[in-house]
Structure 1
Amino acid sequence: MAVETLATLPATAPLLARAAVTARGRRGSEVPQRTLRVEDVRVDRGRLAAYQRLTGYDVSDTVPQPYPWVLAFPLQTALMTRPDFPLALPGLVHLENRVTTHRPLDASEPLTFDVTAGDLRPHRRGRTLDVRLEARVDDELVWTCDSVYLSRGRGDEDAPRGDAPPQAPDGPAVAVWRLPDGLGREYAGVSGDVNPIHLHPLAARAMGFRRHIAHGMWTYARTLAALGRTSLGPSTSRVWFTKPVFLPSTVELVVGRAPGATTAALRSRRDPPTTHLVLTLEA
């Protein structure tokens, strides 16, 4: 596997603009065997604090479990917008994440990130792609994330099915959150993820959505934050993004707990059978 080290994290907005311009004509079944790396990534404590406030974490120097994904998002975007990458980034659907924090991370620690894409796999609604992110402090592996993305298209009904999410917990909601119309723009400001489907209803409709939608990584972080400090590490969480959350809307959090494991779900307040996210947390 070839490793290419970048001098610094690239800017996300130009990459997303390039992805939109070059989306048409991408094809193929081979993912380049390439790892992109960036070293000495520093946490901006002001941006971290803004992220923590928006996602419900206590403001501190301990890095929330989803935050390294936010830091590495430009690197992942750079990998997926290379000319030889076979999938168009616009329209990719984020299906799930599995994240492990091997130990608590402090904002003072410089991080080295690696991102690698796996093979394309058939899916009943198109093709899926795995993307692996790793974070190190010096030579110590401190954090890993495996994401699954769907490229929609001609599917294969006989394709192997991935792991289904667990059943959402029953019972009354433990929290109710009203998500405002501008949540996507607020989260874009603290995360750098300026995908248009999250910012304005007209932009979202151009991408096939009836309204703009909340970032899945915001719903994931907000749910983890509500479960307490367990996810700060060492721990592993797995999240399935099952239905988009249109903005504005109201969602409910339901939680089931067992020794060593917690299951949580976000569901629609108006239509409780509609589940937006299911998450497990083990520590």
Structure 2
Amino acid sequence: MYVRKFYFLMFPVFFAVLCIACKGTEESLIAKGAELTLVSDEYAFTEGPAVDAYGNVYFTDQPNDQILKWSEANGEVTVFMKPAGRANGLYFDNEGRLLAAADEQFELWRIDVEGDRNIEVLLSQFQGKNLNGPNDIWVDPSGGIYFTDPYYQRPWWDRSAKEIEQERVYYLPKGSKEPQIVVDDFVQPNGIIGSPDGKKLYIADIGDKKTFSYDIQDNGLLTNKKLLTEMGSDGMTMDNKGNIYLTGDGVTVFNMEGIEVLHIPVPQDWTANVTFGGKDQKTLFVTAMNSLYTLEMNVSGVR
């Protein structure tokens, strides 16, 4: 999520060491002696971190219309693409191409990161109407794409109203041009993440301050909706122990039973998103307001 009011909340950050609060974990999820570390605070609003097969992490700065890349090789951040369709959420597909929720024209993009950075527009409409604004993305083992489509009025849009009243979650099967509605009863869907075996999907209804789990069927449709926790989330990720990481007031980690096991304070007014990256995917990357942070972990990501 990028919300316009955050344009004006870009305060300098002078500290990178925080107290991390654990709640009843048998073994700490955080590496011994690790501290939340500021990588950079040179942006307007950071979002959408996604890791590639090499451990590099791509993230967005939507107000500045750019996708940035943190390099696993040297830890430096460079501009990968600018302009970038006002990209918000990112995710890599199973062939190593970067998917972007490019909401400038309400589109879902696929970008060739290894070649000429060619952009393919996968989707912009549903049944002849413009999408609200694709926000966050997850790709299942078969290559199908789940994405959330909330409505956040953007300063760069000419429109000021929805064409699709419902704020939904869609599934785009691999090779298809027509998405399927998989969730139609949320107030405002946002963060989304699935299990690596493709059997569970977690989606946050940030508008209703809840996060749910679903069983994924062979056709991509969802069943067995269950409340995970009465907390919404802007972005989400998962570790190799099955813990779910939600964002907003820092990063809050829940186990698969919905029990809070960890809270990571972040020195910003809003924490937007989170993913694992770097060598062995054991570094947690956190996008928050104008900044990117890292934290070394004992657990790893599942990509």
TM-score using structure 1 length: 0.26
State TM-score, norm by structure 2.
0.25
Task: Answer 1 or 2: which has greater strand percent.
Answer: 2
